[in-house]
Amino acid sequence: MIRIDEIYNNTFWPWISKNIPDARMFYCDPPGYTGTEHLFNHGHDDTQENRYIFLHDQEPVHLDSFCPLFDEVLARNCDMVHRNYDPEQKYPLNDFVALQRSKYKKSYPELIKNQILQDVPGHVIVSEQGEYVEQLEKTYGWTSHYYFYHGWACKDWFRGYDKTFLIPRARDRAPAHTFMSPNRIVAGKRDHRVLFLYNVFKHGLEKNYISAPRTCPYEGVDISQIALKYSNIYSDIEQVFQAAELPRLFEGEETQIMTSCWLGNYTEAQDSLVYVPTETVYFGRRLHITEKTFKAIALEMPFVLVAPAGSLEYMRSYGFKTFSDVFDESYDEETNDVLRVEKVTQLLKELDGLSVRERQEVHRACLSAVEHNYEHFYGTGLEKILWQELQDMLRGLQTQSLS
């Protein structure tokens, strides 16, 4: 198992320094912090560096949100441009930048970006697939390389929970509620949760285990104001949230703030038929799954995903089983983002209408897949897939870097 807090120092840098010896490596530390002050790098004092590798594997690819970080990566490699444009080192670096800025009358980031795109090979390592990565490549000229960072992170974060007695095993449960769904950050890039919660409240499903804020804990915006963004789709959305009894917390919680690296909410988990993660990203043609989905697996629960289209197939590609033999998973094929969340809600409504006996039948029918996923995660199955993927990615990085 990889220790996720040491993955850059102990896994990536030893391999890169040996196999791509003229490359620098950039990464953010600690995980989850993406300000430019959290950007660090490894490099060589005894080797001329001609390329760089940037690990943007912790977070989704949002060009608008992370543009300062991406530009900073370029800026910190401007000495390579300096060497290419001024091989005799006639000007100190700062004078060189000032000279070029004056000559081309461009801002510093734009100047550096244009020169590095032209002269310095850049590679970005991501934990996402799809159109946002394609846009990143086009904008920054980077060659992207993918591996499942969050698979490794969850293997590390949730280790040992299979050796506890915090929750009954799945086959010993008799869930009385249909689903549980934590929803905390609902503004900004996470406002798809507002769409989901609207549909939940609209269809009378709020008696299930749902956490939801009245005010987004990170952006301080009332949820009814966030809902206005979607008033052209649902004319009553603001009124629904104004009437909703919010905030909603799970047992033992005093705040909407949570920690990704711990499991919890055991009471709700053992009493719920399915877990509904509202993933970090939702809109667009992309694949990016995080610990939110893995919590369902580690809690031995079936899952219904509020996530980009194709996310169930994505999970199956890593050896997990989903539940199409038990309930309708066609929502995962719906590429219209609004219709997809409606189909998720319709499925939950159908499950919510089951009798006690029918609910227990569904629970038993899911056990085979649930137990497979649990053993696949806590055993060696997932780790073997992740390790092979990581090694293949590194070999591809070496080939493309040195070609």
Domain coordinates in residue numbering, the chain: 4-152+385-402, 153-379
Q: Give burial (CB, 10 Å; 0-12/13-18/19+) of 45.
A: exposed
pLDDT value of residue 71? 83
Strand bridging mode 23-28 / 51-56: parallel
Fold of the domain built from segment(s) 153-379:
Rossmann fold (3.40.50)
CB distance 380 to 340 below 8 Å: no
Structure tokens at 21: 């010896």
Strand bridging mode 39-42 / 23-28: antiparallel
Residue in 235, 253, 244, 187 with CA at minimum distance from that of residue 215: 187
Give per-residue pLDDT as tens, 54-106. 999 999 999 989 988 998 888 788 777 655 555 455 545 455 445 544 554 45
C-alpha–C-alpha distance, residues 74 and 279, integer Å:
30
pLDDT value of residue 302? 98
User: At 44, is the pLDDT very low, low, confident or very high (cuts 50, 70, 90)?
Assistant: confident
CB distance 278 to 192 below 8 Å: yes
C-alpha–C-alpha distance, residues 7 and 309, integer Å:
30
Structure tokens at 70: 């991406």
* pTM of the full structure: 0.91
Residue in 271, 309, 310, 278 with CA at minimum distance from that of residue 293: 278
pLDDT value of residue 91? 45
Give per-residue pLDDT as tens, 222-274. 999 999 999 999 999 999 999 999 999 998 887 776 778 899 999 999 999 99
